[in-house]
Amino acid sequence: EDQVTQSPEALRLQEGESSSLNCSYTVSGLRGLFWYRQDPGKGPEFLFTLYSAGEEKEKERLKATLTKKESFLHITAPKPEDSATYLCAVQAVFQGAQKLVFGQGTRLTINP
Amino acid sequence: ETGVTQTPRHLVMGMTNKKSLKCEQHLGHNAMYWYKQSAKKPLELMFVYSLEERVENNSVPSRFSPECPNSSHLFLHLHTLQPEDSALYLCASSQAPTPDSGNTIYFGEGSWLTVV
């Protein structure tokens, strides 16, 4: 069964304090690993897709990396506006369609 | 503007009511999805329409009924719901996957449903 576990559940940082969020996964045949950002009361906003081990992608203060068992979302010198819940998901294909299997998310708070 | 529009944004309904959630995508995609997001639980897939065909999901109670009249519109019809069905219902869309790779799934802002 496809499974995604994110840690920590919640993380509180000071502005400028870099850190990493973890996403561990088990999936039969990885098609893609996705990171989304979700603000309170809103839908998930797409950030990155990673397809193979060793791949990295960057966007502003965020950098996502992928190994065969986990992905990290590194946040460098974060600002208060980076506060959000970050969701990790693996893509699975079934019955000719696709779906995302999500972790529970990491709730990130950046204090000024 | 996310390209996926959901209405209404908020809905309060009694357990005997019938209501519908509506979703429209402006991205030219050919697959649409309903996800449910409850407090302290991961997003759960409810239904998928891919190339205008519904993919069954047996774990969803029959009080939820999807309808996809074309590739741009998706509905979720609600009937005789329970208070535990209160949640954020998210619509999403994407291009249908190929045998070798999937495609990015884009979400709407969600419809907050409260069942009283």
- Looking at residue B2, what is its pLDDT? 59
- Mean pLDDT of all residues in chain B? 91
Is a pLDDT exceeding 90 seen at residue A58?
Answer: yes
- Looking at residue B56, what is its pLDDT? 66
Subunit contact A104:B31, Cβ cutoff 8 A: no
Residues 17-46 of B with CB under 8 A from A: 31, 33, 40-43, 45
Backbone angles phi, psi at B83, to 5 degrees: -55, -30
Q: Taking CB atoms and an 8 Å cutoff, what residues of chain B touch A4?
A: 42
Q: Taking CB atoms and an 8 Å cutoff, what residues of chain B touch A89?
A: 43
Is a pLDDT exceeding 80 seen at residue B1?
Answer: no
Alpha-carbon separation of residue B11 from A35, B18, B24, B38, B82 (angstroms): 29, 12, 17, 15, 14
